[in-house]
Amino acid sequence: MIGIDFNDRYVKVVELKESAQGLSLDRYHVLPVVREPDQDLTTAISHTIFKAVSESGILETEAYALISGPLVQTRRITLPPMPEAELRDSVKWEAQNFATFPVENALVDYYVLEKSTTKETRKLDIMVVAIEKETFNKHLSALTSAGLRCAGITIHPFALGQILRRLPSVTKEELVAVVDFGAEEVSINLFKDNLPQFTREIKTDGHLQEEILSSFTYYREQFFEEKISRIFLSGEHPQLEELKEGLSTGLGIATEILDPLKNLNIDPRIDMEKLQEAAPRLALAVGVAENKAAELNLIGKKERAPKTSLDKMLKAVNIPNAAIIGALVFILLLILAANFYLSHSIEQTRKELDVKNLRLSQLSKFQERRQAYENIARGREDVKNLLGQIAAMQPPGIKLVSLSYEHDKKIISLAGESGTPQLVSGFVKRLENSASFSNVQLKEFRTVGKIPAFQIEFSIE
């Protein structure tokens, strides 16, 4: 299996093979992306992928890859149990609440993390992914133009989760974090039972320790989870060892470097010293090659090349008159297609009725928000009332120092001071739960002198 992790700066490619002795790393290569004058970035990346595969000696052409970046957005949501067709529609509807680009121009997919159908709790915990289509198409084009057949594309949390499965020290009950350093972004990922529960990307030039702590606090308050037991580090950072010590001391959480080679057999031709040096950078490539986009494959089934052809199947039959068999198969397929069409029509009608019933049942959920919107619209944005709502939501210990309102965009920006990050997280959560506000974002959290300062931005519904 080929695993490829690439961005604007580097291409990392590995080849894994399965045998009676277990999984082994046969080849790998890391190359910087070199962009020639007047050459577009996608072409430069494609040439680098081709060069990395060729120089490594990999002959396989079927590959699995990752996609990340600011136009790849994820969110964990909870929905009631429902049929798959309705679930996909509901997921696309929910994606509109967090995607920063129009959903009609996006590729939206999901993975069910947990399904609970007990009498007390009937719910689906879902990881939703929304990707701007042009970004996805460029990513796929870079692979196919390099002469590879892309069998799957997934997001980095599922590749990192695959590495955790090979670590015997990580138990299913643990809540662990993996902080992966990319070329320009750092991804903070939380896992339980080796499945992603939360993922967030930040810029590498930010205050890393504060951002990590803020992410942990938000997750615990949002999902009522226990304390993170361990942190793993991986990726492009040149001083992971020093960073490990700093985070372990600063956060009070055991921190170690993720070893993607753990319990892997290594081809004896590989220079072990160079491989150990490159190992943290290979985590995503190794993870996606081993995982093969098993949980979430962003390439739809219709787009995947078939593994077998009708010609191969007929040859395997080994009966003299293949034409007769082909005719019989064709007739059988026609009968099956007719039955499928009738069944599909009946099922589609039933699903349409179910969707309408589901939407009716959800009216009560949105009634408060719609009523608030209508009240504000009739009153042409009663600003005094909105200020009163904000003041009522403001927790003790939060001091607001400024408030601005963009009338045309209907955006309010708050700046203030707080004793702790937890108070700010609580304030943000109250604003998110309000029926009057939406798109609540913590734009900034930093320490001015010894005083933590923050900036929150949100829209009026």
User: What is the distance between the alpha carbons of residues 289 and 215, in angstroms, rounded to a whole number?
Assistant: 28
pLDDT at 345: 74
Amino acid (one-letter) located at 458: F
In 3D, which of 68, 58, 133, 131 has the Cα closest to residue 98? 131
Shared-domain flag, residues 377 and 435 = yes
pLDDT at 314: 43
> What's 424's domain CATH number?
3.30.1360.100
DSSP reduced 3-state for 151: strand
Shared-domain flag, residues 202 and 329 = no
Residues found in the chain: 461
pLDDT at 43: 94
**Which residue, 334, 361, 388, sits at the end of a domain?**
361
Shared-domain flag, residues 64 and 79 = no
Record the tokens describing residue 110, joined without a space.
């999901």
Record the tokens describing residue 340, joined without a space.
């499928």
Q: Whole domain around residue 208: which residue ranges? A: 2-70+134-291
DSSP reduced 3-state for 133: helix
- Residue 60 contacts by C-beta under 8 Å, 6 or more apart in sequence? 1, 2, 15
Residue 54 lies in a domain: yes
> What's 90's domain CATH number?
3.30.1490.300
CA 421 to chain centre: 25
Tell the residue number behind the tokens 């080994």, with chain if given: 318
- Residue 455 contacts by C-beta under 8 Å, 6 or more apart in sequence? 413, 414, 415, 442, 443, 444, 445
Residue 388 lies in a domain: yes
Shared-domain flag, residues 28 and 79 = no
pLDDT at 392: 80
Shared-domain flag, residues 128 and 139 = no
Give the number of domains in the chain: 4
Record the tokens describing residue 349, joined without a space.
């009608």
pLDDT at 227: 82
Q: Are 404 and 436 in contact (CB under 8 A)?
A: no
Residue 389: how many CA atoms within 13 Å on its side-chain side? Answer: 18
Residue 437 lies in a domain: yes
Residue 153 lies in a domain: yes
Residue 35 lies in a domain: yes
**Which residue, 133, 161, 180, sits at the end of a domain?**
133
Q: What is the pTM of this model?
A: 0.64
Concatenated DSSP letters for 28-51?
EEEEE----TT--HHHHHHHHHHH
Shared-domain flag, residues 159 and 58 = yes
Shared-domain flag, residues 12 and 153 = yes
Residue 424: how many CA atoms within 13 Å on its side-chain side? Answer: 28
pLDDT at 301: 47
Tell the residue number behind the tokens 């069910």, with chain if given: 112
Shared-domain flag, residues 190 and 313 = no
In 3D, which of 298, 265, 272 has the Cα closest to residue 131? 298
Shared-domain flag, residues 347 and 220 = no
User: What is the distance between the alpha carbons of residues 183 and 199, in angstroms, rounded to a whole number?
Assistant: 17
Per-residue pLDDT of the chain (461 residues; tens, 9 = 90+): 899 999 999 999 999 998 888 899 999 999 999 999 989 999 999 999 999 999 999 988 999 999 988 889 999 999 999 998 899 999 999 999 898 889 888 999 999 998 877 767 788 999 999 999 999 999 999 999 999 999 999 999 999 999 999 998 898 888 999 999 987 889 999 999 889 999 988 887 668 888 888 888 888 888 777 788 999 999 888 888 998 999 999 889 999 999 999 999 999 999 999 999 999 999 999 999 999 999 999 987 434 444 444 444 444 444 455 566 777 777 878 787 777 777 777 777 776 766 666 566 555 545 655 565 555 455 444 666 777 788 888 888 888 888 888 877 888 888 888 877 778 888 888 888 888 888 888 888 787 777 788 889 988 87
Q: Where are the alpha helices (DSSP H) in 97-155?
A: 133-144
Residue 367 lies in a domain: no
pLDDT at 379: 47
Shared-domain flag, residues 6 and 146 = yes
Shared-domain flag, residues 123 and 219 = no
Shared-domain flag, residues 66 and 80 = no
**Which residue, 117, 133, 149, sits at the end of a domain?**
133
User: What is the distance between the alpha carbons of residues 274 and 276, in angstroms, rounded to a whole number?
Assistant: 6
